[in-house]
A and B are shown apart, each in its own frame.
Chain A
Amino acid sequence: MKPELKKNVRAWLYLLPAVAFLAVFMVYPLIDVVIYSMEEGYNFASQTYRGTGLYNFRFVLRDPYFLQALKNTFIIVIITVPISTGLALLIAVVLSSIKKLRELYQTVFFLPYVTNTLAVGLVFMILFKKTPYSDGMINLLIKLFGGSAVDFIDGPYAAKMFIMCFYTIWVVMPFKILILTSALASVNEIYYKAARVDGTSPFRVFYRITLPMISPIIFYLIITGFIGAFKAYSDEVALFGTNLNAAGMNTIVGYVYDMLYGDSGGYPSYAAAAALILFAIVFTITAINLMVSKSKVYYK
C-alpha cells in the first residue's frame, strides 16, 4: 500500500465512530424525511403508499392549521428576536457600566435560564390567566389603573400573542445577556481610553467602537435567535397546553408534532413535508443574514 493511502485509511478509521454515528442518526433520518415527504397516501399501519409526488406539500400549504402555525411562528420570530437581542444588549451595557450590586443583578437576570420552562409557564399562567375565581395578578393591576380585564390565556388572539412573545423574550434573554456581557468585557479597555483622550461622546463610543467590536457576537445571537424562534414549540405548550390548534397558537414544529403523534396524528408524510418547509425557511433566512452580515460585521 502506498504510504499516502495508508495515512488516509488510518484517518478514516479514526473518523469511523463519528461518521457511523452521524450516518445512522443524522444522514439516514434526513434522507428518510425527504422520502416520506414524497410518498402520497402513506398508511402508517400497513406501511404502504399510493404513489410519489408533491401532494403532501400541497396539502400542508393549504391546511388552515399549518397556515395558522406559519403565521404564529413568523410573528414570534419577528417580534422576539429583535426585541430580546436589543433589550439584552441594553441590559448588558448597563450591567457592564455599574459596579455596585453588579453580581446580584447578573444573578437575577440569569435566573430564567436555569429555571424549568414548564414551571415558568405555570407561573405565567397564574400571573395572566383569568379563571372564574380570580382574574390573575396582571388583570388586578390593569383594573387598578382603570382598564378592563383581559384573558391572556384563553382570550383574544392579540392578547395570547402578546403573552407568548413576552414569555419567549423573557426566556431567551438571559443567555443573550450572559454572552453579551462577556463580549463587552472582552473589548480592550485601551480603546475606551484612546476615545476618551479624543473627547468622544459616550454614544459615539458605543456606536463606533463597542458595537463594531462585538458585532460578531451580536450577529451570532441574531442567527441562533432566528433559528431558535423558528423552532419554538415547548414554550407554547407551557403556556397554552398541548392542544395548540384549538388555542390557535400552534407553531410549525407543533404542527409537525401533531401530524406525527397528536390527535390528528399518524401522518408522517405531512409532518415530513412541513418539516422540510420549515428547513427551507430557516435556510433562506440564515442565508440572508449571512449576506447582510458580510458588510456589517467586523471580524479580526
Chain B
Amino acid sequence: MKIRLEHLTKRFPNRNKKIKTEVVAVNDFDIEIPDGKLIGLLGPSGCGKSTALNLICGLEAPSEGRIYFGDEDVTDIPPEKRGVGLVFQNYALYPHLTVRENIIFPLQNLKGDKKLTKDEMNRKAEEAARLVQIENLMDRRPGEMSGGQQQRVAIARALVKMPNVLLLDEPLSNLDARLRLQTREELSRIQKETGITTIFVTHDQEEAMSISDMIVVMKDGVINQTGEPQKVYDDPVNLFVAKFLGTPPINVFEGEVRDNKLYVGENDILDIKGADDKKVYVGIRPEGFVLNPAGRLKCKFVRVEVMGRDTSVIATNEAFLGESIRAIIPTEEKKEPADGVVCFDVKPFKVLIFDRETEERIYFEA
C-alpha cells in the first residue's frame, strides 16, 4: 500500500518542565512511499526516526499533518484499525507465551465477523512461521531462543494478520555482526515474498544501503534526502548526508575554489568549471584517491593498513578536518614512500564540494 505523509510534524513538551520550548522530533515530513517497496529510514540516534515510525503506526498522534494509506486518511485511526504490523527493537515478545501463542495473539484479538476459528488461527500462524522459517520452534518460549530466532518470531507475529504496512524499529541492532548480515538478506526476501510495503528504521547506513529500495536520510527531525541508496551515496545534497553514508566515511578537507581550480591547502587538486570562487568544504570518498608519485594532492604518509579485502593508506594533511585521511588503494600498489610524502590524484566524480556556511552541495563540472 502506498503511504503518503503530508507536512507531518510531532512536537513533544520539553522533559524539563521549566523550559517552555517544545522538542520537535519530526519536522514537516512530506514524502510519498511507493507501494510494495522496502524503505530504510536512516539517521543518527535521536533524529526522530523512531517517532516517525510511531506516527505511521499510530502509537503517537501527530501535532500537525496528515497520514494517508493509499487514498484513506488514517491520521485519526487507532493503530489496530490501520492494518500495520510493528516489530520492536527488542522484539517485545510476550515472555510467558510460547512462540505459537505469541504469533496467534494478534489473531485472537479479532472480533465480530473477522473472528477466526481455532483451526484457521493455527493455519495462519503456521503460514507466518513458515515464511520466517521457525516452524520447528513453535513450542518454545522466547527466553529459550537466540536473538535471531526471536527476531523471526517478532516478524511472524507482525505478519500474521497480513498487514498493509510492516514497520520495523531497528530490526537488526540487537543481533551480532554475522547474524545481522544473514537477517537483512532474510528481511529482504520476506519483503519480496509478501510484497508488503515495509519501512524500517536504522542508524546503520550500511544496513539501509544494502537492502532498501529507497532510503530516507533524516537529521534533527528533518528529511535531508530521499532516493535510491546508491544515488544518495553518489549524489548527496549536503555535507551531512555525504558524511553519514559510506564506510569508511568520506574525507573532508577545508578548501577553496579559485580561478576554476579546486584547492586543498596549497595544492590545486582538480580543474573545475561552473563553480564560483569561494571557500568550501571538499569531500573525497576513500575510493576516490589514485596513488601517483606526481599527484597533485600531497599528504604526509602515516601508515598502510590492510583489513581483509581493503588496503588503505592512512595519511594526514593540514587542511584535513579530523584525525587522518583514509584512502583505499589496490592491494598491489602497497608500498611506503621513502620521503614520507604520499601523493594522490583524485577521481573527479568522487569529489564533492560544499558551501562553508550552508553546508549545501555545490555542483561543478570537471
Contact = CB atoms under 8 A, between A and B. Distances in A.
Nearest to A190: B92
B106 A199 contact: yes
Interface of A: 188, 190-191, 193-194, 196-201, 204, 208-209, 212-213, 298, 300
Contact of A209 (B84, B86, B94, B143): B94
Nearest to A189: B92
A298 B97 CA distance: 9
Contact of B80 (A199, A212, A213, A300): A199
Interface string B92-107: 1011110000000110
B109 A196 contact: no
Nearest to A297: B96
A34 to B, nearest CB: 42
Contacts of A200: 105, 109
24 contacts: A190-B88, A193-B59, A193-B92, A194-B92, A194-B94, A196-B59, A197-B59, A197-B79, A197-B80, A197-B86, A198-B80, A199-B78, A199-B79, A199-B109, A204-B108, A204-B109, A208-B94, A208-B105, A209-B94, A212-B94, A212-B96, A213-B96, A298-B96, A300-B95
A92 B96 CA distance: 22
A194 B109 contact: no
B105 A191 contact: no
**What secondary structure prevails in chain B residues at the interface with A?**
loop
A198 B106 CA distance: 5
Interface in B208-232: none
Given A201-B109, A204-B109, A300-B143, A196 B79 contact: yes
Contacts of A298: 95-96
Contacts of B85: 197
A197 B95 contact: no
A193 B96 CA distance: 17
Contacts of A201: 109
A209 B90 CA distance: 17
Given A190-B90, A200-B105, 13 more contacts: A193-B59, A194-B86, A194-B88, A196-B79, A197-B58, A197-B84, A198-B106, A198-B161, A199-B79, A199-B80, A213-B95, A298-B95, A300-B143
Interface in B134-183: 143, 161
B15 interface: no
A300 B143 CA distance: 8
Interface of B: 57-59, 78-81, 84-86, 88, 90, 92, 94-97, 105-106, 108-110, 143, 161
Contacts of B108: 204
Contacts of B84: 197
Contacts of B109: 198-201, 204
Contacts of A204: 108-109
A196 B80 contact: yes
A220 to B, nearest CB: 17
Nearest to A211: B96
A255 B109 CA distance: 54
A212 B95 CA distance: 9
A31 to B, nearest CB: 43
Among B57, B78, B90, B94, chain A packs the most CB atoms within 10 A around the CB of B94
A199 B163 CA distance: 13
Nearest to B107: A198
A194 B85 CA distance: 9
A143 B97 CA distance: 53
Complex A-B, nearest 8 residue pairs according to Cβ-Cβ distance, in ascending order? A199-B80, A298-B96, A198-B106, A194-B92, A190-B92, A212-B96, A197-B86, A197-B79
A197 B165 CA distance: 12
Contacts of A191: 92, 94
A198 B161 CA distance: 9
Nearest to A188: B92
A198 to B, nearest CB: 4
Nearest to A215: B96
Contacts of A188: 92
Contacts of B94: 191, 194, 208-209, 212
Contacts of B59: 193, 196-197
A99 to B, nearest CB: 14
A300 B96 CA distance: 8
A209 B108 CA distance: 14
A209 B110 CA distance: 17
Nearest to B158: A197
A199 B106 CA distance: 7
B27 to A, nearest CB: 23
Contacts of B81: 199
B128 to A, nearest CB: 13
B192 to A, nearest CB: 24
A129 B139 CA distance: 60
A168 to B, nearest CB: 32
Contacts of A196: 59, 78-80
A180 to B, nearest CB: 18
A76 B180 CA distance: 58
Among B81, B85, B92, B161, chain A packs the most CB atoms within 10 A around the CB of B92
A193 B80 contact: no
Contacts of A213: 95-96
Contact of A193 (B88, B105, B106, B161): B88
B57 A197 contact: yes
Contacts of A199: 78-81, 106, 109-110
A35 B78 CA distance: 70
A143 B90 CA distance: 60
Contacts of B58: 197
